[in-house]
Amino acid sequence: MAANIERMSMAQAVPAPRAFAGAAQSFAVQPAKGVFIENRWRPAHSQNAVDVVDPATGIVFAQIADCGREDVNAAVAAARRAFDQGAWGRTRPTDRGRMLARVAELIARHAEELAVIEARDTGKPLSLARGDMVATARYFEYYGGAADKVHGDTIPYLPGFFVATEREAHGVTAHIIPWNYPAQMFGRTVAPALAMGNACVIKPAEDACLSAHRLVELIAEAGFPEGAVALVPGRGETAGAALSGHPQIDFISFTGSPEVGALIQIAAAKNHVGCTLELGGKSPHVLFADADLDEALPIIGKGIVMNAGQTCSAGSRVLVERAIYDKVAAGLAAYFTGVRAGSPEMDLDLGPVINAAQKKRVETFRARAKADGIPLLAEGSIAPGVDPAGYFVTPSLYGPVPRDNDLACEEVFGPLLVLIPFEDEADAIRLANGTDYGLMAAVWTRDGNRALRVSRRIRAGQVYVNGFGAGGGIELPFGGMKKSGHGREKGLEALLEFSTLKTIILRHG
Ligand code: NAI
Ligand code: MG
C-alpha cells in the first residue's frame, strides 16, 4: 500500500492546490486578517490575498493578505513613530526584558494551540511543532533576561578626556522570515531585536505564516507599546521587496535562499544599511574510523530526516573514512529503511515538504541521481492512508556519491542523505570545505587532538565534536561563512547585530 501511494504520487504531475470543498467538513476557509499595525489588525490596502495550503493534503484552508507598498509604508511609518517619538523608544531595557519574559510565558501558555497551527501550516509532525514552541518561548526568555545586561566600555584616552561607548538600537529593523521553522525563526530574529529596543517590521513567509499572525497578537498582549512590532504578510516579490527596499528601515535580517539573499543585500546597499543573511548549507558530518558509530549514526539519520530535510543547518553530507564506509552505509541504510513520512497527526518521522515547488525540487534531485547512476542505498516509505495530493517525498540514502556531483555539492532542502568516502585527515578537510557553503559541521572521533585540529580547519560557523544539534541551542552563536551568509544570530552575539555602537568623548580638562 505504501509503495502504491508512493508510485502514484511519483507518477502524477506535482498536484496543484485544491480549494476546500468538503461538504461534510464543518470549517470554512479562514479569511485573511489583514495587516498588524500598532497592536491591532487592520484591513490591508492591497486587495490581493495569498492562499494558505495544507501541505499534507494540498487543500487551501486559509488566506493571508498580500501586502503591497502602501501597507509596508504604513507599517514602517508606525514603527518609525514608535522608535523616534513614541513610548517604545523610551522604554527602559529592564522593562523591555520583562515584556519579553511575558511573551515567553504567553507562548508557553498557548503552546498547544500554536503547535497545531504550525503543524497544519507546514505539514511537520505535531511533536516537532511542539518542540518548536518550546524553542520559540526560549528565545523570548533568553533575550528577555539579556535586555538590561548589554554594557558599554570606557576607553583610556588623552589626559583630560573621559571616553565611553554604548550600544544603541538601529531603529526600525526589517525581518524577512522563511517557512521551515516559522515560529522559531520569528523568535530567533525578533526577540533579540526587541531586546535592544528596535521597532520590528516582520514579513513572514507566504508559505507558512499563521503562527506569526498569532505571535504578534501575543506580543501586544504582553504589553509592548504600539509600533514596537508590525506584521506585513504577503509574497516575497510584493511585501518582501517593498520592505527590504524601504528607505526608512535601518537594518535587515534575512533567512532564506541564496538568490533572494543577494537581492536583500542589494536593497540594503542602496539604502546604506546593514543586513544579516543566513542562506543555508551543505553541512558535513566527518566520520573518522575511531568514531563511536552507535552514538553517531542515529543522530546523523534523524538530523536529515527531521522537518523533511528542510533545515538550513541539516547535516546533509556524511564524509566517511574508507575503512568504516561499508559499516556506516549499512547502519544508515537500516535507519532509512525504517523511516516513515505521514501527516502531522500521524506524528511519524517526517511530514510532507512545504509546497509543490519544493516537492518538485526534491524529485528532480532524485531523478538526476538515478540518471547519473548514483547507488541508492535505502529508501524510507510514505505511510498508507496519507492524502496522495499531499507533498510527500521519499527519504533516500545515496552512496558513494561522486564528489563533484550536484547531489554532493548543492543544498537539496529535502530528506536526501549523501555518503562520500575519504582517505585521510587532509582529504577529509578538503572535502568538508569543498562546497560553496559553510554553515555547520560535525567531527566524529575519539582522538581529542584530531577533533580540535579538524574543527579549526573547517570553514563553518558552528562545528560540533561528537554530536550534532541542527542550529544548536539558543545560547550558541550561529551563522554562515562563505556563501552561507554573514552575521551571527543566537547567543549574545545577536544583540550586537541588532545594535550599533556610539562613542561619547567627554573633555573635562
Ligand atoms: P525564499 O528565499 O524565496 O524565501 C524566504 C523569504 O524571503 C520568504 O519570506 C519570502 O517571501 C522572501 N522573499 C522572496 N523573494 C523576495 C524578494 N524578492 N524580496 C524580499 N523578500 C523575498 O525561499 P523559497 O523560494 O521559499 O525556497 C527556495 C529554496 O531556498 C529552498 O528550496 C531552500 O533551498 C532555500 N531556503 C533556505 C532556507 C534556510 O533556512 N536557509 C529557508 C527557506 C528556503
Ligand atoms: Mg522564492
What pLDDT, in 10s, does the model give residues 80-131?
999 999 999 999 999 999 999 999 999 999 999 999 999 999 999 999 999 9
- Residue 312, ligand 1, Cβ within 6 A: yes
Q: Where in the sequence of the chain do the CATH 3.40.605.10 domains occur?
A: 23-279+488-501
Q: Which ligand is nearest to the CA of 205?
A: 1
Kindly give the distance from the C-alpha atom of residue 436 to the centroid of ligand 2, in angstroms, as a whole number.
20
CA–CA dist 179, 428 (Å, integer): 33
Q: How far is the CA of 256 from the centre of ligand 1 (A)?
A: 4
pLDDT at 472: 73
* Amino acid at position 167, single letter: R
- CATH 3.40.309.10 domain residues, the chain: 284-474
Q: Residue 2: what pLDDT?
A: 34
Grid cell in block for residue 55:
501541505
| Secondary structure percentages of the chain, helix, strand, coil, to 5 | 40, 20, 40
Question: Ligand 1 centre and the CA of 467: distance in Å?
Answer: 28
CATH class of the region 284-474? alpha beta
**Residue showing cell 560557523:** 461
Query: To which residue does cell 555602537 refer?
Result: 501
List, in order, residues 6 or more apart from 88 with CB less than 8 Å away. Answer: 82, 197, 199, 224, 225, 226, 227, 228
- Average pLDDT, rounded, for the chain: 95
Ligand nearest to the CA of 358: 1
- Res 28: pLDDT: 75
Active site residue 275: no
Instruction: Give the C-alpha separation, 90 to 85, whole Å.
Output: 8
Answer yes or no: is the C-beta of 206 below 6 A from any ligand 1 atom. yes
What is the predicted pLDDT for the residue at 25? 46
CB 468 within 8 A of CB 300: yes
Sign of CA dihedral 395, 400, 406, 411: positive
CA-CA distance, 187 to 197, in Å (whole number)?
15
Cα–Cα nearest to 194, from 495, 488, 478:
495
Query: If DSSP codes are grouped into helix, strand and coil, which group holds residue 395?
Result: coil
Enter the C-alpha cell of residue 288: 573518522
Can you give the pLDDT at residue 19? Answer: 57
Residue 1 has pLDDT above 50, yes or no: no
Q: How far is CA 81 from CA 91, 275, 339, in A?
A: 14, 22, 52
3-state SS class at 51: strand
312's CB contacts (< 8 A; 6+ apart) are 178, 180, 255, 278, 279, 280, 281, 439, 471
Kindly report the protein residue whose alpha carbon is nearest to atom 25 of ligand 1.
257
What is the per-residue pLDDT for 27? Answer: 55
Report percent pLDDT > 70 for the chain. Answer: 94
Rounded CA separation 147/135 (Å): 18
Q: What does the pLDDT read at residue 5?
A: 32
Write down the catalytic residue from 38, 118, 206, 278: 278
Which pLDDT tens digit goes with each residue over 264-297?
999 999 999 999 999 999 999 999 999 999 999 9
In the block, cell 559541521 appears at 441
User: What pLDDT does 322 receive?
Assistant: 98
Confidence of residue 16 (pLDDT cuts 50, 70, 90): low
Is omega for the bond preceding 400 within 30 degrees of 0, making it cis? yes
Within 8 A by CB and 6+ apart from 46, the residues are 65, 66, 67, 68, 70, 71, 234, 238
8 A C-beta contact, residue 50 and residue 60: no
pLDDT of 6 > 90? The answer is: no
In this prediction, residue 18 has a pLDDT band, given cuts at 50, 70 and 90, of low
Amino acid at site 394: T
- pLDDT category at 367 given cuts 50, 70, 90 is very high
Beta carbons of 457 and 427 less than 8 angstroms apart:
no
Does the beta carbon of 180 lie inside 6 Å of ligand 1?
yes
Query: Three-class SS of residue 200?
Result: strand
* CATH classification for the domain delimited by 23-279+488-501, as one of 3.30.420.140, 3.30.160.20, 3.40.605.10, 3.40.50.1370: 3.40.605.10
What are the pLDDT digits (tens) for 402-452? 999 999 999 999 999 999 999 999 999 999 999 999 999 999 999 999 999
Enter the DSSP assignment of 384.
Answer: T
468 by DSSP, 3-state: which?
coil
pLDDT band at 10 (very low <50, low <70, confident <90, very high): very low
Ligand 1, residues 257, 360, 365, 462: which to mutate, most atoms within 8 A of Cβ?
A: 257
**Residue 470: its pLDDT value, please?**
74
Q: Are 355 and 343 in contact (CB under 8 A)?
A: no
- Give the pLDDT confidence score for residue 9 in this predicted structure: 34
User: In angstroms, rounded to a whole number, what is the distance separating the alpha carbons of residues 443 and 480?
Assistant: 17
pLDDT band at 387 (very low <50, low <70, confident <90, very high): very high
**pLDDT for residue 14:** 45
**Cross-strand bridge partners of residue 319:** 286, 420
Please give the model's pTM, rounded to 2 decimal places: 0.95
Return the residue matching grid coordinates 495550503.
53
Q: Known catalytic residue: 278?
A: yes
Which residue has cell 561563512?
A: 481
Helix/strand/coil (H/E/C) assignment for every residue in 260-295: HHHHHHHHHHHCCCEEEEECCCCEEEEECCCCCHHH
Q: Is the CB of 257 under 6 A from ligand 1?
A: yes
Print burial letters for 86-106: b (CB count within 10 Å at least 16), e (below 16). Answer: bebbebeeeebbbbbbbbbeb
71: cell is 501597507
* Mean pLDDT of the 141-150 span: 98
